[in-house]
Structure 1
Amino acid sequence: MNTKITRIFSAILVGLIFAIFSFIDIPAQDNRAGEEEAQLVTDGKSAILIEPTTFAVIYEKNADDRRHPASMTKIMTMILIMEAVKKGVISFDDTLYASEYASSMGGTNIYLEPGEGMKAEDLFKSIAINSANDSSVVFAEAIGGSVGNFVRMMNNKAKEIGCVGTTFKNPHGLPEAGHLSTARDMALMGAYLVNNHPEILEYTKIYEDYVREDTDKRFWLVNTNKLVRFVEGVDGIKTGWTNEAGYCLTATICRDNKRFIAVVMGGSSAKTRNQEIMQMLNYALGTYDVHNIYKKDQVIATYEDVSVYPAKYNVIITEDVNVLLKKGDKLKKITVEKNIDYKNLPYDNKKVGTMKIYYDGELIKEADLAVKEELKKAGYFKVFWEVLKEILLVSK
């Protein structure tokens, strides 16, 4: 009898527990994360959040919708300027002169007069800090020979980077039919900038400066990206606004050896745009860690070849390889496939092959490999001597 009562009581107790817990909402961890991500951008029409060394997308909203980029266009303009400087096409010490066309630009300017000359570095600062349209045209004419040719260079570079939704019509971003980009493409341009031309950030992080400082036409430059002043680690990149574009920003933050890039396009105000940019960046900083797998110039393999000098040489990887993981997640299996052309070794430290890196079976990177040493073809006597040494070593 007691056993029967116990069974009945147990069944009633289990039923009560089940009924109670059926009314309690216990959200899963993944659901909470998804809800948090969904609230990152509610005002901006398009947005994306990425880690620039892996190109991993953390969050996106309408990231492939084509929209007016406004002055975020100048990210590409700055990239081409810096590449022209590195190639020696122009120097930051050069004096560049404003054409009548450059002086006629509307919007944000430093009010260059026709024929006015200014040091190229000061013109660049006016773009990076103050978003000067007239300075952008001065560089376009100096580097491309004409604005039209410079715009072709911009579009070619965009394709090279992997931008598929971008068409530039000018170097400054003022409204023009067909001048369009996407949040994803702007993030790719931002990643290209920080990965290949980080020196640009030395300018975009400046909050205020001057041009024509020692003249009666002293002009105060104030950064259009207020986050560089008020948020630790924000050091770029470019704001944008027109009636057609709304409030736009491609921003980057570097903190705790982690860098992230966030883009908002079509915001209703500068305040909400900045808030949503920071919501994305703070989410990335608090949720993710970047794990390094290979460091740039790390030796991948060592080989011997008596036909070259030195006969023993090292093959290195030419870039960092990272993996983005949520905090607390452990690294999984990493495998590689090396493809090295031993028959056509370079003699100028150039590319000698590639290496595919797989993370947990998925291809995450294909990186170039190069020879660390400067190789030279070995002469007949050198080859004979290396072979003789091998014979002597074997015979011992």
Structure 2
Amino acid sequence: MKKKWRRFLACLSVLLIFFTSSGAAMEKEPEELKNLYAHSAVLMDGSSGRILFGKNETEVLPMASTTKIMTCILTLESGRTEETATASANAAAQPKVHLGVQSGEEFYVKDLLYSLMLESHNDSAVVIAEHIGGSVQGFAEMMNEKAAKLGCADTHFITPNGLDAADGGGEHATTAADLARIMRYCVSESPRREEFLEITQTRSYSFSNKEGSRSFSCQNHNAFMDMMEGVVSGKTGFTSAAGYCYVCALESEGRLFIVALLACGWPNNRTYKWRDARTLFDYGMANYRNQTIRCEEKPRTLPVEGGLARDRNPWHEATVEAAADTSDASQKQYLLRDDERIRSRLTIRKSLTAPVEKGAVVGKISYYLGEQLLEEYPIRTTGSVSSKYFEDWLLWVWKSYIL
């Protein structure tokens, strides 16, 4: 009977610990972010790529026309924007929203990028993809290769316009975390980011086909630019499978925030994405400030076994100094809450064995925020130490006692 009672008390204790810890974890979610409409959402530090808030951020979902940010940046980086592209029958057959290209019609690629990003025309995306990638499939391979390089492990591209699709690799889909990573690259890391920003910030744009026989006018559908100060880029999207999607970048007081929203309502709730974006940006601006890593590690002196001391006295202990070059740390900023602190972790060898070359790596200094590694710098020797030989003893005796 006593054993059963002890088991009951033990189980009760485990349950109490579980529910207490679960409750504490739930309390960590900011109150103002508990009622987001989006099924999946991310608020990201645009400078470091750190996710400041996530809701189902790694769940794979279709992303509709937010796909086009990847189509745009790949095209810009191809360096072929001044070329002309010919519309195929496949491009002309794309569903609305479309520019209305005709098979055989020629356009300048640069003009099609405005059609792509301002009006989200599906046919313009296919014209671009077939011209840059040789085919839609070829361009999709380029998209997936780029996504992998950006660390987007849960993203699969099939179409350049974001229309719902599936192939042997799965569905055309991404995660809110990956979508934010792609937008961050477009606005802050790509060598063609200035051109990307110029296109996505344009309010209206007019152009003609190469022949000049037809003219077109595009208006920017990123209405959030007029709703909130500091918006630098954004792209909307909608399909029946994806629902309303949105990815956006905002800059405020030297801080860059990225928001990605997937499955943020279906008709007639197209305004949900604007509300969620504002909620996330307001939270970020109210709670996060730029801070730099404080590098206070001083050079270390390490003993060198079997090494010859600087004064070449074989009886003296040989040592070498080692230090980390953290000069660029002060140039990197991280968005932190007031209650967050960056901690350092030093890993270094206790001693070395001669010979030791200058610049040899003997350790590292790592900087963490929670369990996330922010930066890591190697600790290197600042000098060299040669090995100690029998001849060094003889030479010391000769100089000290015989001469």
In the superposition, relative to structure 1, how do residues 67 and 361 fare at CA in structure 2: closer, same or farther (>3 Å)? closer
1:203 to 191, 199, 224: 199
- Paired residues of 1:356 and 1:365 also in contact (CA < 8 A): no
Q: How much does 1:223 deviate? A: 1.6
Specify every segment of 5 or more residues in structure 1 that has no aligned partner in the other structure, as ranges: 1-27, 295-313, 345-353, 370-396
Structure 1, residues 309-364: CA drift from partner, whole Å, max 9, x if none? xxxxx9985995322211x45865557889xxx999xxxxxxxxx98651468663
In the superposition, relative to structure 1, how do residues 33 and 63 fare at CA in structure 2: closer, same or farther (>3 Å)? closer
Q: How much does 1:151 deviate? A: 0.6
In the superposition, relative to structure 1, how do residues 330 and 133 fare at CA in structure 2: closer, same or farther (>3 Å)? closer
- Paired residues of 1:317 and 1:368 also in contact (CA < 8 A): no
1:153 to 132, 142, 165: 142
Map 1:110-259 → 2, pairs under 5 A: 110-177=99-166, 178-197=171-190, 198-199=193-194, 200-212=196-208, 217-259=214-256
Q: How much does 1:250 deviate? A: 0.5
Alignment partner, residue 64 of structure 2: 70
In the superposition, relative to structure 1, how do residues 205 and 315 fare at CA in structure 2: closer, same or farther (>3 Å)? same
What's the TM-score, normalizing by structure 2? Answer: 0.67
Read off the aligned partner of 2:276 and give its amino acid letter: E
Give the secondary-structure state (helix, strand or coil) at the position aligned to 1:267.
coil
Alignment partner, residue 94 of structure 1: 83
Alignment partner, residue 358 of structure 1: 367
2:93 to 89, 98, 104: 104
State the identity as a percent. 31
2:336 to 325, 333, 337: 325
Q: How much does 1:187 deviate? A: 1.0
Q: How much does 1:285 deviate? A: 1.0
- Is 1:281 the counterpart of 2:290 in the alignment? no
Q: How much does 1:154 deviate? A: 0.9
Q: How much does 1:74 deviate? A: 1.0
Q: How much does 1:289 deviate? A: 0.9
1:79 to 73, 77, 95: 73
Read off the aligned partner of 1:45 and give its amino acid letter: H
Read off the aligned partner of 1:211 and give its amino acid letter: F
Give the secondary-structure state (helix, strand or coil) at the position aligned to 1:239.
strand
1:37 to 12, 33, 36: 33
- Paired residues of 2:292 and 2:330 also in contact (CA < 8 A): no
Read off the aligned partner of 1:322 and give its amino acid letter: Q
Q: How much does 1:366 deviate? A: 4.7
Specify every segment of 5 or more residues in structure 2 that has no aligned partner in the other structure, as ranges: 1-23, 295-324, 349-356, 379-403
State the number of aligned residues: 305
Read off the aligned partner of 2:124 and give its amino acid letter: S
User: Counterparts of 1:367 and 1:120 in 2: how far apart (Å)?
Assistant: 42
CA RMSD in angstroms, aligned pairs only: 3.4
Q: How much does 1:218 deviate? A: 2.7
